[in-house]
Amino acid sequence: MKKEAMFWTPLKDEAVQCDLCPHHCVIASQKHGICGVRKNEQGRLYSLIYQACSSIATDPIEKKPLYHFYPGSLVLSLGSVGCTFRCDHCQNYQISMAHPAELSLRDVPAERLSKLAVEQGCQGVAWTYNEPTIWHEYTFEAAKLIKKAGLYTVYVTNGYIEEEPLKEIAPYLDAMNIDVKAFDEASYKKVCKARLAPVLQTCERTRKLGIHLELTYLVIPGMNDDMFEINRFCQWVVETLGADTPVHFSRFHPDYKMTDVKPTSLATLRRCHSIATESGLRFVYLGNIAHGDYDNTYCPSCKNLLIERYGFSSDLKGLTQGKCSRCNASIPVRMK
């Protein structure tokens, strides 16, 4: 469904500039922005995906991944189409690179989401699968209603959003998992066709706005797995966002235009884990690998097992009201 977009500026000759994300596309009449879902029609900018869903599912919150946010809860998860990035390794390229007209999208009005979530036994709603920030007109309206109904809201995002729209939705957004695709501008430009600096700015702003934040770093052999780069990333997280920020290093699987690159080895992921913990990060996880200790949350003070995870399920073994049940240390886990 089409709706007039927010965050744009009219230019001369019926052109417009979109101000939603750091691309700041200048769009001529009848053309689309880079994301493919915002179109200039006679000098006005429109979102083509208002309340248009490509996928709806009930997921464990751990699948986002969010490990320190309502562990063990289910979340109603929605995706649309389009993305601000053009990653060669995109694992959801069927929807992220699609044009709204290419897929049959289902209209799900914002007013229906909280009821739908409760019916499915969910405690919240997540915008995920494709990039949620380009769905701003819908997610902003829906997030207000979902919060009013007492449920939580989540973005799983590449972090490419301008300050004003982020500030606008922040009071109604509880948690974000932001993908950091590399810690190097050249890699962002080459592989994602975007820039790193605005993503890091969004991470900082998210933290300052009080939104729960976890980071995912997909480790791609030969692209972003240099251990100096990993070390610089970890140092930056500790110094800028804080040592309590959960960081997920995730295993790469060949996909889309990057089928010639091998999956990340377990040895590389273990090295990332060691570097991160040596940097001072207190909650580091490895994702997309068979179950092991790297999924669990331990108390940084006494090493007590706090949350044991099997696949995407969580068992609160040693966590009582946000504290370690053995040494009483405060653990940053958001729960009801």
198 part of the interface to ligand SF4, by CB under 6 A = no
| Whole-number Å distance between alpha carbons of 296 and 307 | 6
Residue 112 tokens, joined: 């229906």
Provide the minimum distance between the beta carbon of 34 and ligand SF4 in the complex, in angstroms, as a whole number. Answer: 4
25 part of the interface to ligand SF4, by CB under 6 A = yes
Which residue, 34 or 269, has its beta carbon nearer to ligand SF4?
34
38 part of the interface to ligand SF4, by CB under 6 A = yes
| Whole-number Å distance between alpha carbons of 29 and 42 | 5
Provide the minimum distance between the beta carbon of 311 and ligand SF4 in the complex, in angstroms, as a whole number. Answer: 35
Residues 43-102 that bind ligand SF4 (CB under 6 A): 84
Provide the minimum distance between the beta carbon of 213 and ligand SF4 in the complex, in angstroms, as a whole number. Answer: 21
User: What's phi and psi for 107, nearest 5 deg?
Assistant: -75, 120
159 part of the interface to ligand SF4, by CB under 6 A = no
Closest CA to 286 of 119, 34, 4, 275: 275
The shares of helix, strand and coil residues in the chain, as percent rounded to the nearest 5, are 30, 25, 45
| Whole-number Å distance between alpha carbons of 105 and 100 | 8
- Given a contact cutoff of 8 angstroms between Cβ atoms, the answer to whether 280 and 237 are in contact is no
| Whole-number Å distance between alpha carbons of 57 and 72 | 16
- Given a contact cutoff of 8 angstroms between Cβ atoms, the answer to whether 288 and 266 are in contact is no
Q: Which stretch binds ligand SF4 (CB under 6 A): 23-31, 223-231, 319-327, 328-336?
A: 23-31
Q: Which stretch binds ligand SF4 (CB under 6 A): 21-29, 111-119, 177-185, 266-274?
A: 21-29
The residue within the footprint of ligand SF4, chosen from 18, 175, 203, 276 (CB under 6 A), is 18
273 part of the interface to ligand SF4, by CB under 6 A = no
Binding mask 113-142 for ligand SF4 (x = CB under 6 A): ---------------------x--------
Provide the minimum distance between the beta carbon of 139 and ligand SF4 in the complex, in angstroms, as a whole number. Answer: 13
Residue 155 tokens, joined: 């973005």
- Sheet harboring 38-41: ordered strands across? 3-4, 44-47, 38-41
CB atoms within 10 A of CB 280: 14
Residue nearest to ligand SF4 (CB): 33
Provide the minimum distance between the beta carbon of 20 and ligand SF4 in the complex, in angstroms, as a whole number. Answer: 4
| Whole-number Å distance between alpha carbons of 261 and 259 | 6
| Pairing of the two strands 175-179 and 152-157 | parallel
Residue 311 tokens, joined: 């696949």
Q: What angle do CA 129, 296, 327 make, to 5 degrees?
A: 135
Which residue, 24 or 63, has its beta carbon nearer to ligand SF4?
24
Q: Which stretch binds ligand SF4 (CB under 6 A): 18-26, 175-183, 238-246, 265-273?
A: 18-26
23 part of the interface to ligand SF4, by CB under 6 A = yes
Which residue, 84 or 314, has its beta carbon nearer to ligand SF4?
84
Residue 194 carries which side chain, given as an amino acid letter? A
Residue 60 tokens, joined: 């464990």
Which residue, 16 or 230, has its beta carbon nearer to ligand SF4?
16
Which residue, 92 or 304, has its beta carbon nearer to ligand SF4?
92
Provide the minimum distance between the beta carbon of 210 and ligand SF4 in the complex, in angstroms, as a whole number. Answer: 24
35 part of the interface to ligand SF4, by CB under 6 A = yes
The residue within the footprint of ligand SF4, chosen from 3, 24, 251, 326 (CB under 6 A), is 24
- Given a contact cutoff of 8 angstroms between Cβ atoms, the answer to whether 134 and 19 are in contact is no
Residue ranges binding ligand SF4 (CB under 6 A): 18, 20-21, 23-25, 33-35, 38, 84, 134
